[in-house]
């Protein structure tokens, strides 16, 4: 037997050689695949008309197609049955609504209210969008509060396909409302997975650290090699609102850079009941200052604690460096003794994520020769 296409036993230049090279290849699967009974797989017959072409079998649609997502799909000579039509359109609306939810995060905040000064000290106020089907109504408000042409036609087309159109009432029927409930749940879970459990190595700053960012590719348009990285866009607009070119690639020594993590050094989600420490190697290479802000895993807003500050920065009174010029910062429900000024409070029983900012980052940040430590659990 020959070794596949790598080492044939004879030349393929002759019929005899090709016959010797014929072989059967076996593919071993790691799971059992349930095959359809042969009598259930009915491939339509070829046409017998005088000028009919022989159609390749992979072009033909069988009378029964079994899927994991939609179950059995039935056809009459390629024509979908009424049940199949219903399933496919419901699924199409689900996909469109899910896409509208993810795409809508980019525009839903563009609802300028009347100007009014608010003293936000000690005041709770909503700064994030709905995580359920109410979000579609927020998209509707944004569409109607902005002129035609304000948004990408492709995104507006997705909105229109589920009934979100500027100048028209948004009144989904019972079927569509049920689909939107499902779509919002799926889209919210998807956005949270992309943000807090990214599989794309391109968002991580270092191979051996948890710090990551949707800006890692240094494009405020979320482009790489001519492709828009849609997961990066979803990640950013799920966590934030406005964006500028300077946010993604500031000049050395000015502007600011951002790195986020929701996990500790062991890959576990950050838990406000635990105490952690992060060490920033010295000197911390920022022209101006550095900071950590803590955000709730639920609301994506600044973590609410008795400390009120929501984080810590290098301008804080009494913050101290280690003997080698590095800084160790603690995060937990209570400050470790002697480190009260190097501590940011967390909320027991609540998840959180941390945003590290360097204001006026210097070259070692950009060439990655300076690397912040991960969140390390403290016993």
| Mean pLDDT, each 10-residue run in order, the chain (379 residues) | 49 60 52 48 68 68 82 80 86 85 76 68 74 90 90 92 95 94 90 89 94 89 90 88 82 91 94 97 93 92 88 94 96 96 95 95 93 96
Q: Which long-range contacts (CB under 8 A, 24 or more apart) does 53-57 make?
A: none
Q: Is 157 helix (H, G, I), strand (E, B) or coil?
A: helix
The side-by-side arrangement of strands in the sheet containing 71-76 is 64-67, 71-76, 79-80
Q: Which are the contacts of 136, defined by CB distance < 8 A and separation ≥ 6?
A: 97, 100, 101, 104, 162, 164, 170, 172, 180, 184
Q: Which helix (H) or strand (E) segment is 294 a member of?
A: strand 286-296
- pLDDT, tens only, 143-159: 998 899 988 899 999 99
Distance CA 349, CA 274 (A): 9
The pLDDT value given to residue 38: 46
Within its chain, how far is the Cα of 138 from the centroid? 20
CA angle 264-267-268, nearest 5°?
A: 70
Q: What is the pLDDT of residue 11?
A: 59
* DSSP state at residue 201: G
Model pLDDT, residue 105: 78
* CB atoms near residue 206 (< 10 Å): 13
Rounded CA-CA distance 260/357 in Å is 9
Domains defined along the chain, listed by start: 92-111+129-194 (1.10.3360.10), 239-377 (2.60.120.600)
Distance CA 161, CA 226 (A): 27
Reported pTM: 0.75
Digit-coded pLDDT (tens) for 222-279: 899 999 998 899 888 888 877 888 888 888 999 999 999 999 999 999 999 999 999 9
Closest of 83, 92, 78, 170 to residue 133, by C-alpha: 170
Beta partners for residue 277, in sequence order: 330, 376
pLDDT for 43 equals 66
């Amino acid at each position: 037997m020959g070794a596949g296409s790598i080492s044939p036993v004879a030349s393929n230049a002759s019929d005899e050689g090709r016959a010797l090279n014929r072989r059967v290849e076996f593919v071993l699967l790691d799971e059992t695949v349930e095959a359809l009974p042969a009598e259930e797989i009915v491939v339509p017959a070829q046409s017998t008309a005088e000028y009919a072409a022989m159609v390749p079998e992979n072009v033909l649609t069988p009378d029964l197609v079994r899927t994991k997502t939609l179950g059995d799909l039935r056809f009459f000579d390629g024509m979908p049955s009424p049940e199949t039509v219903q399933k496919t359109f419901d699924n199409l609306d689900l996909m469109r609504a899910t896409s509208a939810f993810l795409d809508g995060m980019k525009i839903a905040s563009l609802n300028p209210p009347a100007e009014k000064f608010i003293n936000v000290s000690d005041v709770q106020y909503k700064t994030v969008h709905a995580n359920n089907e109410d979000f579609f109504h927020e998209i509707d408000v944004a569409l109607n509060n902005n002129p035609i042409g304000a948004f990408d036609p492709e995104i507006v087309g997705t909105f229109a396909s589920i009934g979100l159109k500027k100048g028209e009432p948004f009144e989904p029927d019972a079927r569509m409302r049920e689909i939107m409930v499902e779509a919002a749940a799926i889209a919210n879970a998807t956005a949270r997975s992309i943000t807090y459990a990214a599989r794309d190595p391109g968002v991580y700053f270092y191979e051996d650290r948890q710090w990551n960012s949707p800006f890692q590719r240094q494009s405020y348009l979320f482009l790489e090699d001519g492709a828009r990285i849609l997961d990066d866009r979803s990640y950013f607009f799920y966590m934030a609102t406005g964006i500028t070119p300077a946010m993604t690639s500031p000049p050395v020594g000015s502007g600011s850079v951002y790195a986020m993590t929701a996990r500790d050094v062991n890959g576990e989600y950050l838990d406000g009941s635990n105490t952690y420490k992060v060490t920033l190697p010295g000197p911390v290479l920022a022209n101006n200052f550095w900071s950590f802000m803590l955000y709730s895993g639920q609301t994506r807003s600044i973590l609410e604690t008795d400390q009120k500050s929501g984080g810590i920065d290098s301008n804080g009174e009494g913050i101290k460096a280690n003997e080698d010029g590095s800084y160790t910062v603690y995060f937990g429900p209570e400050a470790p003794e002697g480190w009260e000024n190097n501590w940011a409070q967390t909320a027991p029983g609540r998840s959180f994520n941390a945003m590290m900012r360097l204001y006026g980052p210097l070259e070692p940040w950009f060439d990655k020769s300076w690397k912040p430590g991960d969140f390390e659990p403290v016993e």
